[in-house]
Structure formats: structure tokens, C-alpha cells
Amino acid sequence: MNSLQSLGITVHSADSCSRVSKATLPIRALSVVTYNNEGGDDIPVISDSSVNSDRHTNLFELGIYTRKKTIVFDGIHSTWNLHHVEKAYLHGYFVNEIIWQRLRPEDIFASLRRLDIVRCTSLTNVSWILHLPLLQDLLIFSCSRLHQIIATVQGGVIETKTSNEKNESPSIRNTFPRLKRMTLIEADRLASICSPTIAFPSLECLQISVCPLLKKLPFLTIPSKLKCIRGENEWWDDLDWQDKDLESSLEFYFHGFSTEDQLSEMYLFNSLQVEWASIHEDLDECCWGNRR
């Protein structure tokens, strides 16, 4: 027992989860799993760092695996302190809406650095990620109805959907201040990443694969820290450019996929699936299509 580094605990009810949350255990990773036979269309993830701020400050990873249609982050009845979470994984085949009730994304995920959104095939945009102040790595994989990453309307960015008693308008952020790596894979309907008015001052690598409708890059100028853009050669050749000078400049950073690169991509996603599965080894069909 002296060398014990981690211990897994599985609970099967909200009451049991609440009891675990009140324990003094230094919980580092939390998986929230709901199956299709559970009632209701939404899954509440009740957390607010301003309440019980000393509870579970060791929580580093959060995984949500669900067949529900809505994920609700509720700032009233705090059970888990997610303020220190740095890695989050979201898998939800039927999820079409994420609601921030009485709080904002930056309030709950103030320390989030990596976000994986996987097989959420009903989501059409994830505009709320623009409000994550420390986000460095974004991976979106197999989200087939995603039209835009950051949805835009005339005059600015669409507001994150919140339920706020005071009806306050959240501030609009027009930059990803810390985002270093963005990877978009198998987004069949993705036509836009975001408005080109949104800045990427820290972006180093943009990876695009199997996004056939994505014809434009979200840049007016070259991001100052950009190192590479990776994607299929055919995709790059079909991009639409309004600024030919920008096209010529960005071509220097483009690295097309070769056979060896595609093999590396396969190994990458095999390793990611192992990582995702390690958070919860009995994933529902909503994650991989077959009960593990």
C-alpha cells in the first residue's frame, strides 16, 4: 500500500457520487458516465469554484460520457470543484446542447488546458470554448454535424448559451490567447472554423483531416507563432483564397500528408482511444459503437 499511486472507484447512483464527493480522498480524475436507459434528456454537472473552493482541489481530469441530449453546468448546487481541471474529455453521441446555468465557461474551467470533443455528432458549434482563458490544445474528432467551431453572426460572436437570472450579457472575447494546437478530424459538415477577426496569437500547429467542406482558413494574417499547418494535399489545393499573398505565405507552413504521415495519424488516434478508455473502461455504445 505504501507504493499505491491511484485507486479507481465506480459508483452507480447520484447519491453514491455525492457521498464520494464529500470524502477527503485526493481525487485526481473523475468520469461521469450515463447510459441510454437512464431517465431524462439532460445530464447535470454541478460545479462552481466559488462554492466549497477547498473541495477536491486535486481534481485534474474530467471525462463526460453520455447518451443524454443536454449537458448542464449548474452553479447553484456545487458537488465538484472543477476550477483546477486541466484536461477534459467530452463524448456524447446525442449531445446537441451545452448549457451554462448561472455561470460562465471561464468561471468553471479557469485552468483548462486541453479539451477533447469526440463523437458528439449532434453538436453544430462549440462557441463556448472561446471563453476558456488557458486552453492550449483543442481536439475535435468525428463530430459530423459541426458546421462551425465558433458560430458567428453579423456584428460578432454568438453568445454562449446560459441561463442567468440577471440576464446579464457575457463579454465577447475575440482571441484565443493561449491556444497552441488545434486538431480537427472527420468533421464532414464543417464549413468554417471561425470569423477571421478572431486572433490566434499563440497558435503553433493547425491539423485538418477529413473536413471536405472546409474551404477557408480563419486568418487575415499569419499567426506570429505558427510553425505548421498539416492536412491532405487535396484539401489544401481546393482551398478558396481571397488574398493570394496570404496563400503564398502560408504555403511555407503547410505540410501535406504522405502515406507515412497517415500511418502516424492512425497510431495517434489509437493511442488517444486507449487514453480515453483508460478513464472509463466500460464505455457505452455512444463512445465507440460497441459495448467494451
Rounded Cα–Cα distance for residues 34 and 47 (Å): 17
Distance CA 280, CA 292 (A): 10
Which pLDDT score is estimated for 162?
A: 53
The pLDDT of residue 291 is 33
pLDDT for res 64: 86
Q: Looking at beta carbons, which pairs linking 287-291 to residues 24 or more positions away fall under 8 Å?
A: 287/65, 287/91, 287/93, 287/118, 287/119
pLDDT of residue 254: 95
Q: Give the position of cell 481525487.
A: 27
pLDDT at 38: 47
Beta bridge partners of 57: none
Q: Which residues of the chain have pLDDT under 70?
A: 1-2, 4-18, 20-25, 35-57, 75-80, 153-173, 258-292
Cα separation values, 43 from 38, 92, 165, 242, 279, Å: 10, 11, 20, 43, 18
Nearest alpha carbon to residue 104 among 42, 166, 57 = 166
The reported pTM is 0.80
Q: What separation in angstroms does the CA of 114 have from each of 25, 93, 103, 167, 218?
A: 24, 20, 20, 30, 21
Give the pLDDT of residue 26.
Answer: 72
pLDDT tens-digit readout, 159-202: 555 555 444 444 445 788 999 999 999 999 999 999 888 999 99
